[in-house]
Chains A and B, each alone.
Chain A
Amino acid sequence: MPDEQFALEARGIVKIFGNHIALDAVDFGLRAGEVHALLGENGAGKSTLIKILTGAYQPDGGQVLANGQPVYLDNPQQAQGHGIGTVYQEVNLLPNRSVAENLFLGHQPTRFGLVDRRKMEREARTILSRYGLEIDPSSELGAYSVAVQQIVAIARAVELSGKVLILDEPTASLDRNEVERLFEIIRDLKARGLAVVFITHFLDQVFAVADRVTILRNGKLIETRALDDMSRTDVVRLMLGKDVAFSGATGVEDARPMGEVLLDFSNYGRKRSVHPFNLTIHKGEVIGVAGLLGSGRTEMARIMFGADAADEGEVSVAGKKTTIARPTDAIKHGFGFCPEDRKAEGIFGDLSVRENIVIALQGKLGWFSALNRDEQLEIAGRFGEAMDIRAASLDMPVKLLSGGNQQKVILSRWLATDPAFLILDEPTRGIDVGAHAEIVRTINRLRDEGLALVVISSELDEVVAYSSRIVVMRDREMVAELNGENINPGVIVQAIANHRDEELA
């Protein structure tokens, strides 16, 4: 295909880590003015390929071509020089600096060798307005929401690079409206002739915005095709390499008998965080929490677990009044919490899989009954197998695992403490389809074993699939509790969208 001109092309890329082949002769071509989705399960080699295209890694074989010319990208700055800009899932900007500086860092306009701050802020304002952002460029970036920071990151990448924009799971931490806004920006950039690489786990989003798709599996190129002649099933089949049947949103049979009451929160709340709510949780029940990002879902989970102390209301566990002011209180009552921000609040990246699994159990046992290595290995091994954690060794640092496997490790950590109540905040966010299914299966299994679970998720189909009851959060308030046949995405959306005083049917 020498006659086909790519804005950016990778030919026969090989990358080897130790004795693991991360990329095996992968070709990837990107045309100007297209949105190209890059898909694959975690561990398929997407991030590795991206890091090679942005100069963060150097390939062990093959070459990268920009506009048909071979280029050597030793670092991200060189990639920028060739017109390649990247926006990562975790916004990689500097929250401690001003918005303008984040846009221009390394390229600040100077006068007499000094940074011309006024010019920089004026230009920043112009650029931001092009993306529909009316914010003060001299204010600290860290003061804005992730969505705004994401847009600033895109603006930076486009302004500096201008030919190729790589978006690595840009929508993972955005709510629906923000995603829509992002798509408008992407379409706009496409119309301006940029080549956009779009990486995501959400197939809907791929079909909404992408023109072509490249699918990787286990470090190998599976397919590059226009999306027009592909169906969702085709894509999933190519990603997984097998046929998977998706179970519809059937809901749980209504006749399920309620277990006994495990927890009762009454008028439980925290000022400036969550309005007081009432919630009774029974054994063997999964309560789904729906609501937009920022609606108070996570805040509710945090005060349930004592990560933030409630300042009003009461809680009783198994009929007895108690206080949960700290996570240690919660753990004593048999609670477990898998937080939303896995990397920052969930895993101990440098510790091994084994240590990550046993740490909550050890915390419960206390200082003086240390688990020895054999016991640790036995526990970690048991859960590693039960949860199908794919790690080369239980002693490897957990940060080297994919997102889905990290999530399984955190889940195992709490299961090892033999909990009565688990809170899962976005357990399936940013993880691949296989691990996703595994986690949903685990949720169902735990419910059948009599655990009580609270699961927060943005994926309505998913919440509907496993919840026996759904509470809906809006504006930091619990606005609805849905049962039985009301458990369907339509009703939830209505509840989220409804005004405060309208009663739900």
Chain B
Amino acid sequence: MSRSLRPLFATAVIFAIAYALAVMQFPSMFSTRVLGNFLTDNAFLGITAVGMTFVIISGGIDLSVGAVIGFTGVLVAVLISWAGWHPLAAFGMALAVAALFGAVMGLAIHYLQVPAFIVTLAGMFLARGGASVITQDSVPVSHEFYDWISDLVIRLPGGGRLSFIGLLMVAVFVVGALVAHRTRFGSYVYALGGNTVSASLMGVPVARTTVGVYMLSSVLAALAGIVFSLYTSAGYPLAAVGVELDAISAVVIGGTLLTGGYGFVLGTFIGVMLLGLVQTYIIFDGTLSSWWTKIVIGALLFLFIVLQRLIFAASAQGEKAS
């Protein structure tokens, strides 16, 4: 097995084992209902994590995504509830704003040579602050379009429901995987993460790719914000605080190397599902504090970072010696 596949494989195995253990303790966790809710409840995180996967493979980081989700939720809610826009128009507006926002961050990262960490940190404060300036309160959304969307479900045998937003997340993953692994843009993203200097000497349009990566991340975060708004039927400026860190965790647990160059979109999907599993387990248990989720995620993250180090260190040595 190629070394970059090993972390992915490890994640899949850990997910299977963890799920089997959970099902042994709570047999009802093995049902279409739980699986359907997995998708619905983690839809916004999953969509964000797809964008984050691209950013991290390119060797960057995007801390602004949680704030972009919050901002999008508020913007959409205000446009619909106060300004009377049709939700689709509001969604279009939100995506356009996010695209611009991501483009500006990408331009700053490329042309000003400022580390992505700093630029997106600034972006995070801007978006979060912007949302809070629009309103400090939760703005409810009630529109027939929202009701129509939430009625769009595929019922599964066993009482499960595949919601629109759950399916949307799956679709984003599929398209994301195609873009990452089967397009030139995708190969450029890996190239940037491998070695920016080589990439530019090989004729990779570094500026365009960098801007594209951050635009993609922001647009997907905005899409996640829309999903979140559909999910909660409200916009709240402090929504999705810390989601950027959950997304980064899901990406890393999914086998993407934090230093860039290696990773899989599919791995991120398993990462998101693993995080969802931990959360669901804690809800099923009922006696544990929900903060245990964070502890488990922390432990998993640490485990995976160590694992990746070991795998890459071991194979690097093997190559030198053999």
A interface residues with partner B (beta carbon < 8 Å): 54, 56, 75-77, 80, 86, 88, 92-97, 101-102, 105-106, 108, 110, 113-115, 117, 139-140, 142-143, 156, 160, 272-273
Contacts and interface: CB of A to CB of B under 8 A. Distances in A.
Given A95-B194, A105-B204, A115 B184 contact: yes
Interface residues of B, number: 29
Contact of B183 (A95, A115, A142): A115
B190 A96 contact: yes
Given A94-B199, A96-B262, A106-B203, A272 B182 contact: no
A490 B18 CA distance: 66
Contacts of B178: 114
B123 interface: no
B313 interface: no
Interface in B262-289: 262
- Which of B186, B188, B204 counts the most A-chain CB atoms under 10 A from its CB? B204
18 contacts: A56-B201, A76-B200, A80-B203, A86-B201, A92-B195, A92-B201, A93-B202, A94-B195, A94-B199, A97-B190, A105-B191, A105-B204, A106-B187, A115-B184, A117-B182, A140-B4, A143-B319, A272-B322
Max chain B CB contacts within 10 Å: which of A105, A115, A117? A105
B321 interface: yes
B193 to A, nearest CB: 7
B203 A77 contact: yes
B204 A106 contact: yes
A272 B322 CA distance: 7
B2 interface: yes
Interface in B161-208: 178, 182-184, 186-188, 190-191, 193-195, 197-205
Interface of B: 2-4, 178, 182-184, 186-188, 190-191, 193-195, 197-205, 261-262, 319, 321-322
A305 to B, nearest CB: 16
A110 B183 CA distance: 8
Given A94-B191, A97-B190, A142-B319, 9 more contacts: A56-B201, A86-B201, A92-B202, A94-B194, A94-B195, A94-B199, A108-B184, A140-B3, A156-B202
B187 A108 contact: yes
Contact of A272 (B191, B201, B205, B321): B321
Nearest to B201: A92
Contact of B182 (A88, A93, A105, A115): A115
B204 to A, nearest CB: 6
A106 B200 CA distance: 11
B261 A76 contact: no
A97 B191 contact: yes
A372 to B, nearest CB: 31
Contacts of A86: 201
Contact of B321 (A96, A101, A113, A273): A273
B183 A96 contact: no
By CB atoms of chain A within 10 A, which of B184, B193, B200 has the most? B184
Contacts of B187: 97, 101, 105-106, 108, 115
Contacts of B199: 94
Given A114-B178, A115-B182, A272-B321, A97 B194 contact: yes
Contact of A76 (B188, B193, B202, B262): B202
Contacts of B4: 96, 140
Contacts of B184: 106, 108, 110, 115
By Cβ-Cβ distance, the 8 closest A-B pairs, closest first, are A272-B321, A77-B203, A96-B261, A94-B194, A96-B194, A92-B198, A114-B182, A92-B201
A105 B202 contact: yes
A76 B182 contact: no
A203 B204 CA distance: 34
Contacts of A140: 2-4
A142 B195 CA distance: 12
A24 B184 CA distance: 40
A492 to B, nearest CB: 25
B184 to A, nearest CB: 6
A108 B321 CA distance: 33
Contacts of B197: 92
Nearest to B207: A75
B206 to A, nearest CB: 9
Contacts of A139: 2
B198 A94 contact: yes
Given A115-B184, A117-B182, A76 B203 contact: yes
B191 to A, nearest CB: 5
Contacts of A142: 319
A293 to B, nearest CB: 13
A80 B205 CA distance: 13
A56 B322 CA distance: 37
A422 B32 CA distance: 69
A108 B319 CA distance: 28
A64 B186 CA distance: 33
Nearest to A117: B182
A94 B188 CA distance: 11
A97 B263 CA distance: 11
B85 to A, nearest CB: 33
A139 B261 CA distance: 15
A272 B321 CA distance: 5
Nearest to A93: B198
Contacts of B182: 114-115, 117
B92 to A, nearest CB: 24
A484 B200 CA distance: 52
Contacts of A93: 198, 202
B189 to A, nearest CB: 11
Nearest to A104: B187
A77 B3 CA distance: 31
A55 to B, nearest CB: 10
